[in-house]
Amino acid sequence: MILLGIDIGGTKVAFRAEPDGADAHESSFIWPESGRVADDIAALHRHAEEVLARTGQSVAAVGVAVPATLDADGRVTSWPTRPSWRGLDLVIVLGELFPRAELRWGDDGDLAAVAESHASGLADLVYLGVGTGIGGGIVLGGRSVPGPRRGSCELGHLIVDRQGERCDCGRRGCVQAEASGPATLRRASAARGTRVSFAELRHGYAEGAGWAVAAVEHSCAALAAALVGVGELVRPDAAVIGGGFAAGLPGFVEETARQAARLSRPGHPPPPIGPAVLGGRSSLYGAVLTAKGGTPA
């Protein structure tokens, strides 16, 4: 029997299969460019079938990390990154994919925070994942806050600049609009006067190019403001930054820590800020944990 974790992201979907008596296997695919929900679900079906064929075992339980907002019944109410998913009944989709498996799901940021808490041994922790969007979660006393029955912890939608960029949620200055991977690349492209790829940003930042440094420092300052603000409320043992964008850009987490130090006030230092123990795979490992029953849906 297989325990399966699925991390549904804005750009790609990652799978981690843990079969009985065999090594775990990870794989991923990129969403189709069309953005149509039918094409997305077809791609999800194809990859799931490939994973199951590779292992040759049936699925006991599936945990899914979801960036979209779901109602209590598992229906998508909002996902600006893939608007065609609005109204999709995720329970039906997963049930068709895995008809005999136990299904559990949760917000990707919340599950990532729980996974980081498990991996680091810290019972009080704040997590921010920087990728296509920004997800986040808070764990206090080993439990996810605010808890599965009260909605997800939307750290990416903390407002850090009232005059800032327009967020895909409709507001201005959310940390996601200021510090996500696409936001950073847009800012770098505007400063350089030409479209900048992630590889070019990474190289430019490593070389100290002004357009790259300015773009990254802006994003890190926005993240630092969010983390310092949350730290004033919950006093975590640590804050960790993960997600594919942050994990792939050397110096990004360190710069965020430096920016946070500048915002400290006497007697109230910000929480230590470091890289996520699980790198860019925190949400995926959180999905596996929820498949095991470690995080309730």
Window from 3-17, 176-190, 214-228 with minimum mean pLDDT: 3-17
pLDDT digits (tens, 9 = 90+) for 103-130: 998 889 999 999 999 999 999 999 999 9
**pLDDT value, residue 34:** 92
Q: What is the 3-state secondary structure (H, E, C) of 83-121?
A: HHHCCCEHHHHHHHHCCCCEEEEEEHHHHHHHHHHHHHC
pTM (predicted TM-score): 0.87
pLDDT tier for residue 254 given thresholds of 50, 70 and 90: very high
- CB-based contact 181:198 (threshold 8 Å): yes
Q: What is the mean pLDDT of residues 185-199?
A: 97
In this predicted structure, the answer to whether residue 295 has a pLDDT above a threshold of 70 is: no
Confidence of residue 132 (pLDDT cuts 50, 70, 90): confident
For the ranges 39-53, 127-141, 197-211, 269-283, the one whose mean pLDDT is highest: 197-211
Q: Report d(CA 126, CA 182) in Å as an integer.
A: 23
**Considering the chain, what is the average pLDDT of its residues?**
91
Alpha carbons 1 and 35: distance in angstroms, whole number: 33
| Mean pLDDT value of segment 5-13 | 91
Top pLDDT among 294 and 264 is at 264
Instruction: Answer yes or no: are the C-beta atoms of 141 and 123 closer than 8 Å.
Output: yes
pLDDT band at 297 (very low <50, low <70, confident <90, very high): very low
pLDDT above 80 for 151: no
pLDDT in tens, 51-95: 888 877 888 999 999 988 888 788 999 888 889 999 999 889 999
Flag whether pLDDT at 38 surpasses 70: yes
Query: Per residue in 140-150, pLDDT tens?
Result: 998 988 766 66
Quote the pLDDT of residue 296.
Answer: 47
Higher pLDDT, 33 or 19: 33
- Those residues whose C-beta lies under 8 Å from the C-beta of residue 204, and which sit 6 or more positions away, are 188, 192, 196, 211, 212, 213
pLDDT at 249: 95
Peptide bond into 146 cis (omega under 30): yes
Neighbours of 220 (CB within 10 A): 26
d(CA 203, CA 89): 42
**152 pLDDT above the threshold of 60:** yes
Q: Which residues on adjacent β-strands are paired with residue 128? A: 136, 241
